[in-house]
Chains A and B, each alone.
Chain A
Amino acid sequence: MLFTSLKFVLFIVVLFVLYYTVAKHDQWPLLLVASLVFYYMQDYRFLLFIVITAVTAYILAIATENFAARRKAYLKEHKSEMDDTKKKKYKNTTKRVQALYLAIALLINLGILATTKYTNFIIENINALRSEPLSFANLIVPMGISFYTFQTVSYSIDVSRGTVKAQRNFWKFLLFVSFFPQLVQGPISRYGDLSQTLYEEHKFNYKEVSLGYIRILWGYFKKLVIADRLVVALKVLVSDSEMYQGGFVFIVMMLYAAQLYCDFTGGIDITIGIAQILGIKMAENFNLPYFSKNIKDYWNRWHITMGSWFTDYIFYPLSVSPTILKLSKWSRQHLGNAIGKRIPVYVACFCVWLTTGIWHGAAWHFVVWGLMNFAVIMISQELEPLYAKFHAKFGLKEKAGYKVFEIVRTFFLMSSLKLFDCYRDAGLTFKMFATMFYKPGFGSLGSSELLNLGLTSSDYIVAGIAIVIVFLVSLYKALKGRELREFLFEKYPLFLVACTVLVIVIAVFGAYGVGFDASQFIYNQF
């Protein structure tokens, strides 16, 4: 059941009516049923995977919490009999038991993720080295497995750290893992955040429902009017790398930047909008990423929940681990203070980007994409003092023109890295990127070439106007610091006009029908 299907829209309408009709204490059980039905309708076998993940994380979190409580009680009871050394010894022993519970939870859940997603990738690489190839495993990859596994892993770690309390009601926990809007493409919710509103009783709130409704429409507008239209031309452009080189690669870069943005942010708008009309608050996943001033800034604004997950559960634990700190100390003594200081950051950052690449997909081009991000971030980090001197000397930092330059530069940089996702082959991506410089051929790019890509001139006009609208709405947020829909809600007749116009535009200009295929979201494959 695609988000873009009529079946899904009917599913939401029925759920919405039932949600505000049933007794308030039945709202979260209704959401659980709806989530399991939604998942069952994708493929009934998916349910088995998500239930195993939920059951193991649920049991081990309670075991961890119970063990921590017993440890605390024991220490309190034997306080007078234990000196500091004994206390420390007891603490260390019990910490190991707690770590074992966590390790089992992570091993099971990350093991399921790794087996389903990466087995065939491993076989493919082994086959490259063997004369007799191994046969590929016939595995199913449950929808959203990367997203719900990461949510569950963060829950297990947070309970182990004592930063959240374990959920004692299994059905409530299952709802956290399987809440249907986030199964398509995230965001990766944290239990501490989502649980605050997920199980609450919700009264019908006119403002929240209205804002959620317009956000859903805005998401469909970006997905159906722009993303699903542009994908037609993109498929043609990347299908023939011999024919479409030079200037065409630049067009791929621009079209994909627009398509991916509208596809991903559109899907997240639909997800968060659905949660909002049900009174549930989800974490934001974007904050004007194409207005970023540098690559670090970009990754604080694009797919925010994934970035913060990697920071909190890989980057920090790794960079402050005793091994890395020892390595840092050793490097300071033997290689100098400057290098020693950088070691923890560099090692942890490398691991983060390697795993980020692998998380995006079982393919070498994703690994290269991740490592390219690492390389650019490290180079920028090293050049920072130089930039600071440059800015100070020429007083550029606060100049509007220079800020625009930084934004445009970052946009092109990030769009070039996205080419790995288009061509899906690292070597080919480098080759195609290079053709932009040694045989650009921009002069020969005419309307006839563009009209051979499966789109009509009307399609280009519709997509062009829609992109300008998206840009202007983003610019409003950048300048005013709040969403345009909030302003429209205050000027109520305008709000109704905007909703009506959006419905008409989606119905008339949405990319479905002959030549188009309302498709799944790009991030659904991750």
Chain B
Amino acid sequence: MEDLIEILKDLHADVDYDTCETLIDDKILDSFDIVSIVSEVDDKFDVAIPAKELIPENFNSAKALWALIERLMED
């Protein structure tokens, strides 16, 4: 999770990722950010996030994103 927060901080340093649950709804992350995150996650965790998982529910918070990564690791 710490590695993931680091990736997110790299994009928007001023966001509190521990509490924020509206990263997409409040337009904090845009489509360019999402693609950067997918690329970084692939690099760091060796997890490929498929296009069908690129939905707001999976990216609205760091927690939701981490849950997605864990789920994909198990698959």
Contacts and interface: CB of A to CB of B under 8 A. Distances in A.
Contact of A381 (B32, B49, B51): B32
Nearest to A296: B30
B39 A316 contact: no
B35 A344 contact: yes
Given A320-B38, A332-B43, A344-B39, A315 B31 contact: yes
A296 B32 CA distance: 10
Given A316-B31, A381-B32, A328 B51 contact: no
A316 B30 contact: no
B23 to A, nearest CB: 16
A329 B44 CA distance: 11
A319 B35 contact: yes
Contact of B35 (A312, A316, A322, A329): A316
Interface string B49-73: 1111010000000000000000000
A329 B51 CA distance: 18
A325 interface: yes
Given A161-B52, A296-B30, A325-B48, A320 B35 contact: yes
Contact of B50 (A311, A320, A344): A320
Interface string A292-324: 000010000000000000011001110110100
Contact of B39 (A296, A315, A341): A341
A325 B39 contact: yes
A345 interface: yes
Interface string A370-414: 000000000001000000000000000000000000000000000
A163 interface: yes
Interface string B20-49: 000000000011101110111011000011
Interface residues of B, number: 17
A163 B49 CA distance: 16
Interface string A154-175: 0000000111000000000000
A316 B54 contact: yes
Contacts of A296: 30
Interface in A109-152: none
Nearest to B43: A329
Contacts of B34: 316
B47 to A, nearest CB: 11
A315 B32 CA distance: 9
Interface centre among A161, A162, A328, A329 (most CB of B within 10 A): A328
Contacts of A319: 35, 38-39
Contacts of B31: 311, 315-316
Contacts of A348: 35
Nearest to B36: A341
Contacts of A381: 32
A154 B38 CA distance: 22
Interface centre among A162, A311, A325, A332 (most CB of B within 10 A): A325
A320 B48 CA distance: 8
A107 B30 CA distance: 31
A348 B43 CA distance: 18
A367 B43 CA distance: 34
A381 B33 CA distance: 11
Contacts of B50: 320
A322 B48 CA distance: 8
Contacts of A344: 35-36, 38-39
A55 B35 CA distance: 35
Contacts of A162: 52
A312 B30 CA distance: 13
Nearest to A384: B32
Contacts of A325: 38-39, 42, 48
5 contacts: A163-B52, A315-B35, A320-B49, A329-B43, A345-B36
3 A-B pairs with least C-beta separation: A161-B52, A317-B51, A319-B35
Given A325-B39, A328-B43, A344-B39, 14 more contacts: A161-B52, A312-B51, A316-B51, A316-B54, A317-B51, A319-B39, A320-B38, A322-B48, A325-B42, A325-B48, A332-B43, A341-B39, A345-B32, A381-B32
